[in-house]
Amino acid sequence: MLNASVETSAMALGPWTSSARQPRDPLDEIASFATRIKARRGTAIFADGDDANYCYRIVSGEAMAFKLMSDGHRQVYEFLVPGDFFGYETQADHYFTVEAVSEVVVLKYPRRAVERVLAENSRFAREIQQMTARGLHSAYQRMILLTHKSADERVAWFLLELADRTRNSDDALHLAMTRTDIADYLGMVIETVSRALTRLKRGGAIAMQSVNDIRLVDRQRLELVRGEI
């Protein structure tokens, strides 16, 4: 949802390194308030309507933020990867559910503590503001995707974005989420996602080791399919 800037996902890989030269993690400010929790695949970290007494950050694994509609439809707002910070609200309640998509480890910060730091530390407040603003920016970009892009463009965009966010150096990409999750994220149905993946495979842009393990064989072609923005 909101990812603290560039270097942060390193924190998922090892212990905090506060070495002088290293750019500091903006969330270090609240690190001391964190408790570490685990969630198994399919379990909720918090639910739509819950009191927003805590906010969180992914350490390892993946999660998804979504809202369930009264008509049964589900909109997946974001997939959350290591480094992502989420659940900090200015209002009383959470307005979406966050559920583990794989076995996931998260840090849990008490809202009170975060707000105390926000009030006292303007640098930290600026970081949070920046993360929220980036979230808004990317939500707007996704609107373009949802209104003007074809099925293949959406799926290509999804794959490239996920590869980018999980910072895979090689071309291997593991999809922790199901086709249904992807469909609900991209505003399509599962069959269309499946067909789009098949076309990308036939076109030589990707290869599939197994259903959930994809190789971005021809990244350039994939970017071509995705199109601008």
Is the separation of the CB atoms in 186 and 154 below 8 Å?
A: yes
Considering the complex, state which of residue 6 and residue 211 has its C-beta at the smaller distance from DNA: 211
Q: State the number of CA atoms in the 13 A half-sphere of 92 facing the CB.
A: 1
18 contacts a copy of itself (rule: CB under 8 A): no
With CB under 7 A as the contact rule, the residue among 18, 22, 129, 198 that binds DNA is 198
Q: At closest approach, how far in Å is the CB of 11 from DNA? A: 29
180 contacts DNA (rule: CB under 7 A): yes
The whole-angstrom separation of Cα 110 and Cα 127 is 18
Decide the pairing of beta strands 207-210 and 213-215: antiparallel
The crossing angle, in degrees rounded to 10, of helices 151-165 and 190-202 is 80
Closest alpha carbon to 52 in 93, 91, 19, 24: 93
**Binding partner at 179 among DNA, a copy of itself, none, C-beta below 5 to 8 Å by kind:** DNA
Residues in contact with a copy of itself by CB under 8 A are 67, 69-71, 73, 75, 77, 89-91, 95-96, 118-120, 122, 125-126, 128-130, 132-137, 139-140, 142-144, 146-148, 187, 227-229
Residues in contact with DNA by CB under 7 A are 150-152, 178-180, 187-195, 197-198, 208, 211-212
